[in-house]
Amino acid sequence: MTLRVDVPGERYHQDLISCQVACPVHTDARGYVRAIAEGRFDDAYLIARGPNPFASICGRICGAPCEAACRRGKVPRVDDDGRFVATDRPIAIRALKRFVCDQFGPEARPADVVLDDVRTFLPPVAANADEMAALLRSALEGKLPLASGERVAIIGAGPAGLSAAHDLALLGCAPVVFETEPVAAGMLAVGVPAYRLPREVIEKEVDVIRALGVDIRCGVTVGRDVSFEQLRRDFAAVVIAVGAKSSRALGLPGEQGPRVYGGVDLLRAAALGEALDIGRNVVVIGGGNVAYDVARTVVRQIAYDAARTAARLPGTASVKLASLEGLEDMPADTVEIVEGDEEGIERLNSWGPVEIERDEHGAVRAVVFRRCLRVYDEARRFSPIFDDAERLRVECDTVLLSVGQAPVLTFLDEGGADVEQSRPGWPKVDPKTLATTAPGVFVTGDLAHGTRLLIDAVASGKAAARSVYEYLTGRRLEADTLTAHLTLDGYRREQGYESIRRVAVPVAEPHERLHHPDTPVEIGYDRDRAMREASRCLDCGVTPVFDGSRCVLCGGCVDVCPTLCLKLVPLSEMAQTPELRRAMDELLGEGIDPAEHSAILKDEDRCIRCAACVMRCPVEAIAMERVTYCTLWRTA
Ligand SMILES: Cc1cc2nc3c(=O)[nH]c(=O)nc-3n(C[C@H](O)[C@H](O)[C@H](O)COP(=O)(O)OP(=O)(O)OC[C@H]3O[C@@H](n4cnc5c(N)ncnc54)[C@H](O)[C@@H]3O)c2cc1C
């Protein structure tokens, strides 16, 4: 076991709020989860919405790095003898965000559709997009000198482009967004299926951005309807936010021809109601979340078509999903795999495609696979090893490739020669400023950092907005982290919060989900469930603080700690353990004799902030303290 002791420094307590640290836009997830636990739902919404123009959409589909970092998911459960049983599960932060957005987000209007109990409980924070826009403007009023209405062209209305536009509008610029699709929101609208993200949630959230004065021009392709050269001429700056929309190919024999499609092309066609010739025996190649979106969309489409035209469709239909990875290593989220299994998707794990067989008329007949023995090497680099002797032939009539996406930058041919590329298709970009090698041209989102999560695109869009503001105004923006420490007198937690198990997010039954392709799978928490789940939050911003000058070394705090997270250790003992020696040296001032002092060691992963130590201390040497922080921008 590795021992490491940190002596609390300036950022120590901030860094303990792991959900906020992990969020790319540093949303105070702990703050809104605790607000929900206390029934302050409108506060919770504002905390969630503050840094994130896509809060309602994130409430539905965010990849939730906050949950992966949540300390509740790391707290060991111990039995009565202190033996490890299992680790707990993280707070369902994303689903809790959805709970407050459902009531107070722009999708909650008109007010009369807000649940009755909520209406009597609290008035909606913002009844419509205009009110929300006014609220956002007032939050920024007077804080930063505004730009002078400089026009900024943004290519692509995905979450990165729209987040950049949102913040630029607030910063006093006049952004115009050019979008090739007939709808705004990028992959959220033409990739993520409606059963995960209802279209009206997208429309309402984008309406707020429009209400801020952002001009979103859908159905305009840069490079066809307007040239990049012209944008550079007509606008003070250009932000390229075109994402990575083109499905990667595998170069397999038989890949070119009818009924082999890119997965994102299938999703786009489904989202826009465009016809795509899909058979009834479909193989999806890929093992990530996008592959599941593709497979589950096809399952729904087949079920829907069968329900409408059952008499005319012979035989059974099947959707198989083939991944290089074994079940344990699949990159898709567990919930996708489980729900996909429930919906009848047949998984083929540890198989790599070799060839797509076509018959003499060119129709797809089968995919041939070989056994994949290993996908990653010891350093977790992609380095598959195959057994060519073990083959699998899967008969099918349609193949969907879901093995990654790449950007298309052909519009740079006209007026973009100075936008250098680091590798073909990917512009060279300063990771801090998101500037390209061409003056006044910035990139953001998936195009800047490769395909990641929606919230990464939002963070990137906001960063691009700040850079464009600096470029246009010549004023440098600096981040101030405002940290507040507050001693909490009489701090108490909810009864039994430490033993509450994660409250499952209600979902529709598998047979209900397939009624219609757009039927939402997740039903979401009601008020009671949300408050119960939120009450599990360990509130990592709160921590016991020890006053050494008062401590009488009675060890009462250690005895009473339910998770055994405290240890009272004589410094002379610490000095004998090399790993602890460094911390001890840091702790000791000049002239302090280790033989006469002790230290309290606290295992942060075990502490559940119950305050039992505070209550037990006979000399009031321990106090519960709340630390909160936020980032404020100011001009240098
Ligand atoms: C199928 C799918 C499902 C996903 N699900 C999730 C999820 O559940 N959770 C999560 O956190 N993340 C998810 N992601 C990732 C997330 O959607 C992306 O990271 C995010 O959309 C990237 O944002 P972006 O703005 O950089 O690019 P995009 O969203 O791709 O937007 C780029 C926009 O630029 C437009 N465009 C391109 N070229 C031009 C041109 N020449 N002229 C005008 N417009 C142009 C495109 O039409 C598009 O609207 C998913 C991605 C996919 C593909």
User: Residue 317's pLDDT is what?
Assistant: 85
Tokens (6 digits) for 481 = 């982290």
Q: Which atom of ligand 1 is nearest to the CA of 192?
A: 3
Collapse the DSSP code of 426 into the 3-class scheme (helix H, G, I; strand E, B; otherwise coil) and give the result.
strand
User: Tens digit of pLDDT for each residue in 330-362?
Assistant: 999 999 999 999 999 999 999 999 999 999 999
Average pLDDT over residues 468-473: 97
Half-sphere exposure of 455 (CA within 13 A, CB side): 24
User: Tens digit of pLDDT for each residue in 264-277?
Assistant: 999 999 999 998 89
Q: One-letter amino acid identity for 479?
A: A
Q: Which atom of ligand 1 is nearest to the CA of 196?
A: 8
Looking at the predicted structure, is the pLDDT value of residue 234 above 50? yes
Ordered alpha helix ranges (H), 122-179: 129-140, 159-170
Distance CA 302, CA 30 (A): 42
Tokens (6 digits) for 464 = 């691009």
Residue nearest to atom 8 of ligand 1 (CA): 61
Cα-to-centroid distance, 156 and ligand 1 (Å): 9
Q: Are 501 and 89 in contact (CB under 8 A)?
A: yes
User: Tens digit of pLDDT for each residue in 29-45?
Assistant: 999 999 999 999 989 99
Q: Is the CB of 254 under 6 A from ligand 1?
A: no
User: Residue 591's pLDDT is what?
Assistant: 62
Residue nearest to atom 35 of ligand 1 (CA): 156
- Ligand 1: residue of 61, 247, 454, 521 to mutate (most ligand atoms within 8 A of CB) is 454
Q: Is the CB of 245 under 6 A from ligand 1?
A: yes
Looking at the predicted structure, is the pLDDT value of residue 151 above 70? yes
Cα-to-centroid distance, 260 and ligand 1 (Å): 22
- Ligand 1: residue of 187, 412, 460 to mutate (most ligand atoms within 8 A of CB) is 187
Cα-to-centroid distance, 192 and ligand 1 (Å): 9
Q: Degrees (nearest 5) of the Cα angle 424, 430, 435? A: 90
Beta bridge partners of 261: 400
User: Residue 221's pLDDT is what?
Assistant: 98
Q: Are 93 and 70 in contact (CB under 8 A)?
A: yes
Q: Is the CB of 487 under 6 A from ligand 1?
A: no
User: Residue 109's pLDDT is what?
Assistant: 53
Determine if the peptide bond prior to 424 is cis (ω within 30°): no
User: Tens digit of pLDDT for each residue in 481-499?
Assistant: 888 888 998 888 888 898 8
Distance CA 59, CA 56 (A): 5
Q: Is the CB of 332 under 6 A from ligand 1?
A: no
Cα-to-centroid distance, 266 and ligand 1 (Å): 15
Provide the 8-state DSSP code for 490. T
Cα-to-centroid distance, 225 and ligand 1 (Å): 21
Q: Is the CB of 248 under 6 A from ligand 1?
A: no
Q: Is the CB of 62 under 6 A from ligand 1?
A: yes
Cα-to-centroid distance, 242 and ligand 1 (Å): 8
Average pLDDT over residues 555-576: 87
Distance CA 77, CA 86 (A): 5
Q: Are 237 and 101 in contact (CB under 8 A)?
A: no
Looking at the predicted structure, is the pLDDT value of residue 409 above 80? yes
Looking at the predicted structure, is the pLDDT value of residue 112 above 70? no
Q: Are 557 and 541 in contact (CB under 8 A)?
A: no
Cα-to-centroid distance, 191 and ligand 1 (Å): 7
User: Residue 589's pLDDT is what?
Assistant: 64
C-alpha 94, offset from chain centre: 9
Secondary structure element (H or E) that encloses residue 480, with its range:
strand 477-488
Q: Are 124 and 130 in contact (CB under 8 A)?
A: no
Taking alpha carbons only, the member of 147, 176, 150, 170 closest to residue 239 is: 176
Average pLDDT over residues 615-634: 89
Looking at the predicted structure, is the pLDDT value of residue 53 above 70? yes
Summary mean pLDDT of the chain: 90
Taking alpha carbons only, the member of 173, 187, 327, 328 closest to residue 238 is: 173
Q: One-letter amino acid identity for 589?
A: G
Ordered alpha helix ranges (H), 474-577: 510-513, 527-534, 556-560, 571-574
Q: Pairing state of beta strands 281-285 and 398-401?
A: parallel
Q: Is the CB of 193 under 6 A from ligand 1?
A: no
List the single range of 100-104, 449-453, 481-485, 613-617 with lowest mean pLDDT.
Answer: 481-485
Q: Degrees (nearest 5) of the Cα angle 487, 484, 455? A: 125
Q: Is the CB of 290 under 6 A from ligand 1?
A: yes
User: Residue 315's pLDDT is what?
Assistant: 53
Looking at the predicted structure, is the pLDDT value of residue 191 above 80? yes
User: Residue 262's pLDDT is what?
Assistant: 97
Residue nearest to atom 18 of ligand 1 (CA): 454
Cα-to-centroid distance, 57 and ligand 1 (Å): 13
pTM score: 0.92
Average pLDDT over residues 112-120: 36
Cα-to-centroid distance, 263 and ligand 1 (Å): 14
Q: Which atom of ligand 1 is nearest to the CA of 159?
A: 25
Q: Which atom of ligand 1 is nearest to the CA of 452?
A: 19
User: Residue 113's pLDDT is what?
Assistant: 36
- Sorting pLDDT into bands at 50, 70 and 90, what band is 100? very high
Tokens (6 digits) for 377 = 């090497």
Residue nearest to atom 20 of ligand 1 (CA): 454
Q: Is the CB of 266 under 6 A from ligand 1?
A: no
Distance CA 633, CA 50 (A): 14
Distance CA 47, CA 32 (A): 6
Half-sphere exposure of 161 (CA within 13 A, CB side): 33
Cα-to-centroid distance, 335 and ligand 1 (Å): 22
Secondary structure element (H or E) that encloses residue 526, with its range:
none
Distance CA 67, CA 77 (A): 18
